[in-house]
Structure formats: C-alpha cells, structure tokens
C-alpha cells in the first residue's frame, strides 16, 4: 500500500448509516404537526369564528401533552427499546391527526393535539436516542445533523404545502395529509431492521437522570432556546397575514425560507465535530439572539422578514444539533431517559411560549416578541457556557 493510500484510509470517514434517513422521515412527520398550526391558524380561527391566540391553545395543548409524555413515558425507551416505542407512537399520532382533522370545535382540536403530543413525547426521544446509537465514531454531528434535517422536510414539504392546502382546500385537509404521512412512516419503520436494544431491570426515573452531571444547565438552555422559538414562530403567520396583509399561503414562503436555512446548515455540521459541541454552543445561541434582533428590525418588510427567517433556520440548526449532541453524550446508558427530559422541557416551552407570547404579541406586536426572544437567547448562551464535567 502506498503512502497516499494509507493517508486516504486514515482520513476516510465512515458513511452516514442508511437508517438515519428513515429517522429523518419520522422527524419530518412529527415536525409537520408540531409546526403546522401557526401558519394555518388564521384559517382555523376564521372557521371557528374565534381569534388566533384562542386557536394557538391547541398548539399549547400539544406542547403540554408532549412534555408530560416525554417526562413519564420516554424512560421506557431504555427498557422496551426505541423501535417498539416509536412504532406505537407513530400509530397513536396518526389517530390523533385524524381526530384533529375531524374536530368540530377548538376544544376538540386542542384535545386531539394533546393526544398527538403524547405520541410525540415518546417518538422524539426515541428518534434522538436511535440517531446517537447508530452514529459511527467521528460522525456523531453529521448523523444527528441528517436526522435533524427532518425538520427541514417538515418546513419545506409539510408546513409550506399546508398553507397552500388551507387556501385551496381546507385546513382540515392539512391534518388529514399529515395523518397519511404518519401511517407511511410507521410502515417504513416496520419494514426496516432498526435494532431494538433493551436493558434489563426497571426503567430509569426522570428525577434520577437529573443527577447526571451537566444535565441541568443544558436543560435550562433548552428551555430558553425553545420558548424563544415557539413564542416567535407561533405568531409569525398571523403577523404576515394580519400585520403585513399577506394571504395565508404567504406563510408557506416563510416556512420554506426557514426550512432551506435549517437544511443548508447541515452542510456545515462537520465543523461541530472538529471544534466540539461544548465550544460551539454558546456562540450558536448568541447568533440566534442576533437573528431575533434583526427579525424585530425587519418586521415591517415582507422581503427582509423572509430573508431573516432563512438565517433564523440556519442558526437554529446549529443550536439544536449541539444541544442533542451534548445531552446524548452525558450518559449513554440512560440516553432515552435523558432525551425524554429534553423533549419534556422542549414541549413545556411550546406551552409557555405560545401562551406567554400571545398577550405580548397582541399588546405590543411582533417586533417586541422577537426582542423578548433575543433576551431569552442570552440566557441560553450564558448557561450553555457553564462548565461541563465532560468534554462534549
């Protein structure tokens, strides 16, 4: 073997596992539901003769259901296996989405979304735990980054098309379409060979996982990061529709821009593996804070807002990637439980973000909401810089 061959062998990196792309599709389905209500909220509100903040209570219910499920049910991933838990979650999600499509009242829609949240609270940590488990050494960020591009698919194909569907057909068609996607994801998972590693003994307790060194600061950063995102994203659609006078389908353009930015960031994920997630994390969150300030400054212009939404997606990709990397590396033996805590905090932030930012948005407007989100990101950046006992 020549020297050049030896160098090539040493520098060649293992490929991303094919199963990562299946997990990407699962993320896309869950993301489509969790992100879809904001852009179509004006159409839903008009259908029920109510306000957008009232409709967004359904999004808050989804977040509450997800948070509770992730806290109390995700710990069984470590004992029963991620594949089995993910299959059950996708089935429940499909049923909940059909119930959402048929909901006769806002209250019924909120109840159906609460059920969807219970499914998502198990599915998300199962997906993240599986992604970390199948990642080849040295390709952790790349593998997790591929899985996270499911959020791009949910934005580009799911949320963007949902706004068009709501305009052309009805908002109920949106939930029916996502239900079909959930069924397809379940079928794909059933036909694959995703390993189902199970651990003997009782399932780890969520409170016990809080004792893992370094986890509390990361969960605080997660809470601030996600509260800022959902607080702003939940009312972006109404700002474009009622604030700037654009049709509901224009909200799909914003979702497309966010998704493209989020997806393009995956091309740069290798830098995280080289620099280290712990080093990148505070700067990623500071970048997101700057983006929120720019969103506030550009909120009077559709073009500038769409451009900044694309940058927002890029910055959020890095923020989410480093968060998942650091959490999943804390204790591999309790990875499912830890990622369950992550999802619990994330979707508690959905509830807090949509409910707390509702009065803020109604009273002071979109720009003020973005500025409050920027302050939350300063909190996230501060705790992300907290010393970790592990170099992740």
> Please, how many CA atoms are within 13 Å of residue 189, restricted to the half-sphere of its CB?
28
Helix (H) / strand (E) containing 267: none
Return the pLDDT at 391: 43
Return the pLDDT at 8: 44
**Cβ contacts of 364-367, under 8 Å, gap ≥ 24:** 365/239, 365/243, 365/299, 366/232, 366/235, 366/236, 366/239, 366/243, 366/296, 366/299, 367/295, 367/296, 367/297, 367/299
Q: Tokens representing 349?
A: 């932030």
> Please, how many CA atoms are within 13 Å of residue 17, restricted to the half-sphere of its CB?
23
Ramachandran bin of 347, using left for φ above 0, alpha for ψ from -120 to 50, beta for the remaining angles: alpha
Does residue 197 fall inside a structural domain?
no
Please indicate, yes or no, whether the overall pTM of this predicted structure exceeds 0.75: no
Domain assignment of residue 353, given as a range: 18-192+206-384
Return the pLDDT at 67: 80
Q: Of 249, 259, 242, 115, whose CA–CA distance to 174 is shortest?
A: 249
CATH of the domain at 340: 1.20.1250.20
Q: How far is residue 36 from each of residues 141, 206, 270, 351, measured CA to CA in Å?
A: 27, 29, 30, 15
Q: How far is CA 219 from the centre of its chain?
A: 15
Q: Of 29, 42, 55, 23, whose CA–CA distance to 175 is shortest?
A: 29
Task: Give just the sign of the alpha carbon dihedral 101, 104, 105, 108.
Answer: negative
CA distance 239 to 105: 24
Does residue 311 fall inside a structural domain?
yes
Q: Of 64, 10, 66, 20, whose CA–CA distance to 343 is shortest?
A: 66
Domains in the chain, number: 1
DSSP string for 278-308: HHHHHHHHHHHHHHHHHHHHTTT-HHHHHHH
All residue ranges of the chain with pLDDT < 50 are 1, 4-10, 388-392
Does residue 5 fall inside a structural domain?
no
* Residue tagged 């700067």 (tokens): 283
Other beta carbons within 10 Å of 320: 22
Does residue 161 fall inside a structural domain?
yes
Does residue 389 fall inside a structural domain?
no
Does residue 392 fall inside a structural domain?
no
Burial label, 105 (beta-carbon count in 10 A; 0-12, 13-18, 19+): exposed
Does residue 201 fall inside a structural domain?
no
CA distance 131 to 258: 23
Return the pLDDT at 372: 96
Does residue 218 fall inside a structural domain?
yes
């Amino acid at each position: 073997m020549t020297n050049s061959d030896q160098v090539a062998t040493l520098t060649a990196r293992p490929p991303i596992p094919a199963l990562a792309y299946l997990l990407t599709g699962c993320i896309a389905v869950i993301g489509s539901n969790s992100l879809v209500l904001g852009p179509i909220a004006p159409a839903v509100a008009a259908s029920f003769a109510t306000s957008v903040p009232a409709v967004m209570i359904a999004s808050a219910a989804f977040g509450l259901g997800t948070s509770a499920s992730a806290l109390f049910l995700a710990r069984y991933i470590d004992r029963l296996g991620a594949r089995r838990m993910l299959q059950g979650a996708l089935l429940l999600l499909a049923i909940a989405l059909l119930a959402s499509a048929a909901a006769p009242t806002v209250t019924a829609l909120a109840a159906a979304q609460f059920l969807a949240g219970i499914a998502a609270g198990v599915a998300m940590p199962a997906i993240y735990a599986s992604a970390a488990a199948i990642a080849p050494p040295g390709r952790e960020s790349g593998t997790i980054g591929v899985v996270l591009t499911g959020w791009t698919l949910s934005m580009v194909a799911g949320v963007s098309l949902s706004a068009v569907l709501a305009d052309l057909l009805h908002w109920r068609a949106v939930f029916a379409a996502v239900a079909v996607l959930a069924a397809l994801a379940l079928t794909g998972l059933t036909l694959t060979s995703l390993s189902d590693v199970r651990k003997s003994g009782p399932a780890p307790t969520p409170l016990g996982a809080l004792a893992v060194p370094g986890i509390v600061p990361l969960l605080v950063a997660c809470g601030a990061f996600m509260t800022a995102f959902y607080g702003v994203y939940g009312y972006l659609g109404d700002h474009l529709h009622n604030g700037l006078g654009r049709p509901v389908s224009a909200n799909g353009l914003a979702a497309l821009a966010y998704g493209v930015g989020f997806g393009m960031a995956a091309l740069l994920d290798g830098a995280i593996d080289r620099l280290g997630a712990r080093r990148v994390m505070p700067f990623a969150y500071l970048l997101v804070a700057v983006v929120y300030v720019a969103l506030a400054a550009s909120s009077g212009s559709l073009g500038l807002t769409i451009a900044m939404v694309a940058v927002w997606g890029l910055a959020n990709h890095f923020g989410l990637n480093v968060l998942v990397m650091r959490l999943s590396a804390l204790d591999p033996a309790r990875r499912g439980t830890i990622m369950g805590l992550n999802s619990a905090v994330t979707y508690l932030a959905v509830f807090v973000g949509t409910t707390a930012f509702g009065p803020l948005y109604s009273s002071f407007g979109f720009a003020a909401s973005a500025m409050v989100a920027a302050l939350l990101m300063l909190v996230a950046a501060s705790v992300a810089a907290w010393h970790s006992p592990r170099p992740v």
